[in-house]
A = this chain, B = another copy of it.
């Protein structure tokens, strides 16, 4: 049984979909994407739990891949995951994420991108970082997969938001210029 934290380089697999002897983990730094059948289905940032499927499934449900050098604290045993009451809370958080995803999937493409940007921004804020200036944790391909769009569409929409003066953009570095408008668009249609 490996305890304590462990490092993963960008692109490294933390665990594979279908793998037995499954375990959960907490992301402590960096960023991790969750992939299910070639589809990006989740994004875990510092503080987020991954692999909670082990609470009720015998094998991992998704593949977890580090998006940049990340530190992850592996939780192999039941006791390391805390009491059951705590487990319910963790599952609940994951459920909220899924609900959010389901809801924005119905919105038009531009709203999805806006909603995601806001979401990432909030996450940064909650970690005490700048909520207006940060690096996008996903590249265009992964972001497109996550939002259920074509990568070209994502690219076009981001430059669109830039042209409309809502954001500043240099590759993956982003600055939010008009959070109000962004937020408004994210709830549109």
A89 sits at the interface (CB 8 A): yes
Determine if A56 and B98 form an interchain contact, defined as CB atoms under 8 angstroms apart: no
For A83, what are the chain B residues with a Cβ–Cβ distance below 8 Å?
84
For A105, what are the chain B residues with a Cβ–Cβ distance below 8 Å?
102, 105, 148
Determine if A88 and B89 form an interchain contact, defined as CB atoms under 8 angstroms apart: no
Q: Which chain B residue has the least Cβ–Cβ distance from A37?
A: B103
A87 sits at the interface (CB 8 A): yes
Determine if B56 and A106 form an interchain contact, defined as CB atoms under 8 angstroms apart: no
Q: CA of A105 to CA of B55 in the docked complex: distance in angstroms?
A: 26
A contact residues, total (Cβ < 8 Å): 26
Determine if B91 and A95 form an interchain contact, defined as CB atoms under 8 angstroms apart: yes
A92 sits at the interface (CB 8 A): yes
- Hey, what's the 0/1 contact readout for A62-96 against B, CB within 8 Å counting as 1? 00000000000000000000011101110110110
Min Cβ gap A55→B in Å is 6
Min Cβ gap A95→B in Å is 6
Q: Which residues of A contact B (CB under 8 A)?
A: 36-37, 39, 41, 55-57, 61, 83-85, 87-89, 91-92, 94-95, 98-99, 101-103, 105-106, 148
23 sampled A-B residue pairs with Cβ under 8 A: A37-B103, A39-B103, A41-B99, A41-B102, A41-B103, A55-B88, A56-B88, A56-B89, A56-B92, A61-B99, A83-B84, A84-B84, A84-B88, A88-B88, A88-B91, A91-B91, A91-B92, A91-B95, A94-B95, A98-B99, A101-B102, A102-B102, A106-B148
